[in-house]
């Protein structure tokens, strides 16, 4: 078989079998009727021709087969996630995937993913591998390559111009549609990710708030526990009016619920560094975040605050690189582990930590496993299984909406317990310290509404469920702080709120952003 023929067959395979999600979304916007039928055929031809162009561009005597095989394997997996979870493989998703640890990947593993891998990846790859390529002389191959490139480019231009009005609307008004093309969009996203991450100059950390100092005559030390939640959406908190009781223990405490908090991003990798950064959502980027000190660094500049980050999620996403960090996903540190290490394990030994630093201000950040999906049923022990039946598989689309909600809400009950335990711990220090707890989730979660699952959609197209997060605060008896809970807050407020909480004076502090001003 000639190289060109192999490329055409592979492109045809991708168009027909790996783009279910794309065509599904196209058909939602353009129902199969009237002129739309012609448009849809033209989109199909355009996608196919573009792939031929792209693959030809990447082809050479030695690269054609390996590149196509890698594309088939990866695309079989992206097909699975796009079809079943309706996720989009953008540069943020690639960053998330690369930062995912083995445990989280095991969580995603199931039989359906293997079926996708075999039928859309391994079997076509095997045939492709076995196909013998008929190669001509270098000169002739180059000539054929140029001919194919020009011809496909010509066809692309013809299609675009014949239906220019339609394509203007397709590319401008329905921008998200192309995010579902496979493998073209994930290839673009990898490029986008590389240019955003690696192309950026070596990390030169820009110090901020080096003038930070605490001047207070206060005899009482401050003790703050900042809990970074995982994937809790605001509308599933009974504190926010959810019909089920998902905050039974917290409602007994004098907490101040914050019903209107929006996240900086829709994924852990985006939201967590953004929350602690000086940048606001509009001007935050991964590069700016990683190249600039965060609020923990500013606290460090005072030389008067003890900072500890304990992590039962993946890691601190670069936030705790310069402060004390303890991994609680391992049985080495976490003493409460069964099928996985539990969030409450992070509380063990904190008494000792605090007692050893009696005359210091302390901030402890606890990064929870919380409601990490899709295996919500693994996020809690049997005692929290109040809502049944629960979805027992990570193939969410196989479960009823009710059973997914049940598993998710049971996991919320576990967080309710965890946060109430944090409060109990802080109460022990009420007489000696000014205590407070801040809880904010990193992002929300989709639970099957409009066929969407999990999180990570680009912000502008993400539903409220992914961006409107659970958040609340608690103050000890001797900590007179004010907050207007009805106000609209966001992750942008955290940086200044934490500085304010420790009475830190610095040029980077903006009082109007402090939730407790």
CB of 237 to Zn ion, least distance (A): 17
DSSP 8-state class, residue 42? H
User: Of 313 and 333, which has the nearer Cβ to Zn ion?
Assistant: 313
For the chain, helix (H) and strand (E) counts, in that order, are 18, 14
- Does residue 357 contact residue 306 with C-beta atoms inside 8 Å? yes
User: Of 182 and 313, which has the nearer Cβ to Zn ion?
Assistant: 313
The two tokens of residue 299 are: 């606290």
CB of 263 to Zn ion, least distance (A): 9
Burial of 22 (0-12, 13-18, 19+ CB in 10 A): buried
User: Of 83 and 371, which has the nearer Cβ to Zn ion?
Assistant: 371
CB of 231 to Zn ion, least distance (A): 5
If one asks whether residue 315 binds Zn ion (CB under 5 A), the answer comes out as no
The two tokens of residue 435 are: 């205590």
Q: Which 211-230 positions form the footprint of Zn ion (CB under 5 A)?
A: 230
Q: Which 24-63 positions form the footprint of Zn ion (CB under 5 A)?
A: none
User: Of 268 and 300, which has the nearer Cβ to Zn ion?
Assistant: 268
User: Of 374 and 500, which has the nearer Cβ to Zn ion?
Assistant: 374
CB of 455 to Zn ion, least distance (A): 7
Name the one residue in this structure whose structure tokens are 């031929």: 52
Q: What is the DSSP string of 368-437?
A: --TT-SS-GGGSS-GGG--S-S---SS-GGGS-HHHHHHHHHHHHHHHHHHHHHHHHHHHTTTTTEEEEE
User: Of 267 and 406, which has the nearer Cβ to Zn ion?
Assistant: 267
CB of 373 to Zn ion, least distance (A): 9
Name the pairing type of β-strands 305-311 and 324-327. Answer: parallel
C-alpha angle 188/47/186, rounded to 5°? 20
User: Of 208 and 457, which has the nearer Cβ to Zn ion?
Assistant: 457
Residue of minimal CB distance from Zn ion?
A: 268
Spatial CA neighbour of 371 closest among 305, 301, 432, 446 = 446
Q: Report d(CA 315, CA 318) in Å as an integer.
A: 8
User: Of 311 and 514, which has the nearer Cβ to Zn ion?
Assistant: 311
- Does residue 496 contact residue 453 with C-beta atoms inside 8 Å? no
CB of 25 to Zn ion, least distance (A): 25
One of 25, 268, 415, 420 touching Zn ion (CB under 5 A): 268
CB of 366 to Zn ion, least distance (A): 14
User: Of 223 and 290, which has the nearer Cβ to Zn ion?
Assistant: 290
User: Of 72 and 263, which has the nearer Cβ to Zn ion?
Assistant: 263
Per CB under 5 A, which region of 210-218, 263-271, 394-402, 426-434 contacts Zn ion? 263-271
Q: Which 405-464 positions form the footprint of Zn ion (CB under 5 A)?
A: 442
Any alpha helices (H) in 428-491, and if so which ranges?
464-467
Per CB under 5 A, which region of 63-71, 111-119, 210-218, 268-276 contacts Zn ion? 268-276
DSSP 8-state class, residue 235? G
For 36, residues 6+ apart whose C-beta sits below 8 A from its C-beta are: 30
CB of 274 to Zn ion, least distance (A): 12
Spatial CA neighbour of 96 closest among 380, 430, 457, 412 = 457
The H-or-E segment that residue 367 falls in is: strand 361-367
Quick note: the x/- pattern for Zn ion over 227-246, rule CB under 5 A, is: ---x----------------
CB of 81 to Zn ion, least distance (A): 16
Q: Report d(CA 394, CA 139) in Å as an integer.
A: 52
Count of positions on this chain that bind Zn ion (CB under 5 A): 3
Binding site for Zn ion (CB under 5 A): 230, 268, 442
């Amino acid at each position: 078989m000639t190289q060109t023929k192999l490329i055409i067959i592979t492109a045809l395979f991708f168009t027909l079998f790996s783009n279910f999600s794309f065509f599904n979304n196209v058909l939602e916007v353009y129902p199969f009727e009237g002129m739309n039928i012609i448009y849809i055929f033209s989109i199909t031809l355009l996608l196919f021709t573009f792939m031929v162009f792209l693959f030809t561009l990447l082809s050479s005597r030695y690269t054609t087969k390996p590149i196509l095989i890698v594309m088939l394997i990866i695309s079989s997996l992206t097909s699975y996630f796009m079809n079943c979870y309706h996720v989009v493989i953008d540069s943020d998703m690639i960053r998330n995937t690369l930062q995912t640890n083995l445990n989280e990947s095991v969580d995603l593993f199931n039989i359906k993913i293997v079926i996708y891998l075999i039928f859309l990846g391994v079997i076509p790859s095997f045939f492709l591998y076995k196909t013998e390529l008929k190669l001509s002389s270098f000169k002739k191959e180059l000539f054929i390559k140029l001919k194919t490139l020009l011809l496909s480019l010509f066809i692309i231009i013809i299609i675009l111009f014949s239906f220019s009005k339609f394509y203007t609307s397709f590319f401008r008004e329905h921008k998200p549609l192309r995010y579902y093309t496979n493998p073209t969009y994930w290839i673009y996203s990898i490029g986008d990710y590389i240019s955003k991450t690696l192309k950026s100059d070596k990390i030169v950390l820009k110090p901020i708030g080096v003038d930070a100092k605490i001047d207070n005559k206060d005899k009482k030390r401050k003790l703050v526990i900042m809990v970074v939640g995982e994937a809790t959406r605001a509308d599933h908190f009974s504190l926010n009016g959810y019909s089920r009781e998902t905050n039974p223990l917290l409602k007994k405490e004098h907490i101040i619920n914050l019903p209107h908090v929006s996240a900086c991003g829709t994924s852990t990798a985006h939201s967590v560094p953004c929350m602690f950064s000086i940048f606001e959502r509009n001007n935050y980027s991964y590069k700016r975040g990683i190249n600039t000190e965060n609020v923990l660094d500013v606290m460090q500049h005072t030389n008067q605050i003890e900072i500890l980050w304990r992590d039962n999620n993946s890691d601190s996403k670069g936030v705790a690189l310069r402060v004390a960090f303890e991994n609680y996903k391992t049985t080495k540190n976490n003493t409460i582990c069964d099928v996985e290490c539990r969030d409450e394990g992070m509380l063990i030994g904190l008494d000792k930590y605090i007692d050893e630093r009696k005359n210091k201000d302390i901030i402890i950040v606890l990064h929870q496993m919380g409601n990490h999906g899709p295996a919500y049923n693994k996020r809690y022990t049997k005692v929290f299984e109040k809502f049944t039946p629960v979805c027992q598989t990570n193939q969410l689309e196989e479960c009823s909406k009710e059973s997914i909600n049940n598993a998710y809400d049971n996991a919320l009950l576990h967080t309710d317990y965890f946060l109430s335990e944090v409060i109990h711990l802080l109460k022990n220090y009420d007489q000696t310290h000014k205590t407070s707890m801040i809880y904010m989730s990193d992002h929300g979660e989709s639970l099957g509404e409009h066929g969407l699952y999990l999180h990570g959609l680009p912000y502008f197209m993400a539903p409220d469920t992914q961006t409107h997060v659970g958040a609340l605060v608690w103050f000890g008896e001797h900590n007179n702080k004010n907050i207007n809970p009805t106000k609209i807050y966001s992750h942008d407020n955290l940086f200044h709120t934490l500085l304010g909480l420790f009475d830190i004076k610095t040029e980077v502090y903006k009082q109007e952003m402090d939730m407790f001003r």
